[in-house]
């Protein structure tokens, strides 16, 4: 796959994995690179919440993506900058192997936060009483409550399950590649139901209506 196809496939796989925590901020075009954001939370206390904003460069994944870390709750400016530097280092390593890095960056970010932010205070980090304020995005308190409530409904991914999540990501990526290859060979666009069936999703009686809705939404959009 060329870089553009690799980028599109990664976006589709990330959307399948992170669901509503994943959002495309800017669609890819001839003039603009694709930009997306993923909301993350530490796996231990769920008290540190942050947003990873990723921009696909022209030759990604053969070169690192653009990265920005925003704090939503519980992380100081200095820690945020340290985290961003760490992720930039991780991204360079993936670029050397020409591997998509967004999913691994999310897992690396949560591991780093667990090790360096969760359970640590500014007093411990600086050796004196701190009056530094935690960064937050410009959002209303109501928005923050809604965000916390929605996260509480999910099941957090632990550090120990990293390999399982990585395997899931690679599986989703391969499914997307397979579907796109079929479309290229047949020069046709699969219907929503054909697309989701081709991804070998397990549809139970309880979830059938959900996937029917997903298929309907898919029919209304281009991939």
Q: Indicate whether 166 belongs to any domain.
A: no
Q: Determine the structural domain holding residue 50 and report its residue range.
A: 3-159
Q: Indicate whether 178 belongs to any domain.
A: no
Q: Indicate whether 47 belongs to any domain.
A: yes
For the chain, what is the domain count?
A: 1
Residuewise pLDDT in 10s, the chain (223 residues): 788 889 999 999 999 999 999 999 999 887 889 999 999 999 889 999 999 999 999 999 999 999 999 999 999 999 999 999 999 999 999 999 999 999 999 999 999 999 999 877 554 444 333 334 445 444 444 444 344 334 434 445 454 555 566 677 777 777 766 766 666 666 665 555 554 455 444 444 444 554 455 555 555 555 4
Q: Indicate whether 37 belongs to any domain.
A: yes
Q: Indicate whether 175 belongs to any domain.
A: no
Q: Indicate whether 204 belongs to any domain.
A: no
Task: Give CA–CA dist 161/22, Å, rounded.
Answer: 20
Q: Indicate whether 26 belongs to any domain.
A: yes
Q: Indicate whether 59 belongs to any domain.
A: yes
Sign of CA dihedral 185, 18, 196, 223: negative
* Domain at 21, CATH number: 3.10.110.10
């Amino acid at each position: 796959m060329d870089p553009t196809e690799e980028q599109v496939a990664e976006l589709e796989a990330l959307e399948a994995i992170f669901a509503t925590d994943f959002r495309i901020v800017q669609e890819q075009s001839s003039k603009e690179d694709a930009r997306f954001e993923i909301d993350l939370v530490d796996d231990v206390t769920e008290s540190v919440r942050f947003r990873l904003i990723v921009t696909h460069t022209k030759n990604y994944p053969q070169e690192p993506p653009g990265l920005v870390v925003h704090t939503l709750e519980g992380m100081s400016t200095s820690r945020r900058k340290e985290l961003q530097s760490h992720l930039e280092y991780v991204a360079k390593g993936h670029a050397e192997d020409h591997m998509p890095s967004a999913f691994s960056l999310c897992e690396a970010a949560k591991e780093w936060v667990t090790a360096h932010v969760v359970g640590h205070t500014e007093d411990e980090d600086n050796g004196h009483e701190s009056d530094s304020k935690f960064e937050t995005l410009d959002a209303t308190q109501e928005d923050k409550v809604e965000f916390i409530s929605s996260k509480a409904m999910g099941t957090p991914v632990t550090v120990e399950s990293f390999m399982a999540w990585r395997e899931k990501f690679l599986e989703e990526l391969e499914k997307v590649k397979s579907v796109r290859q079929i479309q290229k060979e047949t020069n046709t666009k699969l219907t929503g139901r054909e697309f989701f069936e081709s991804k070998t999703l397990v549809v139970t009686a309880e979830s059938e209506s959900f996937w029917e809705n997903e298929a309907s939404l898919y029919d209304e959009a281009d991939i």
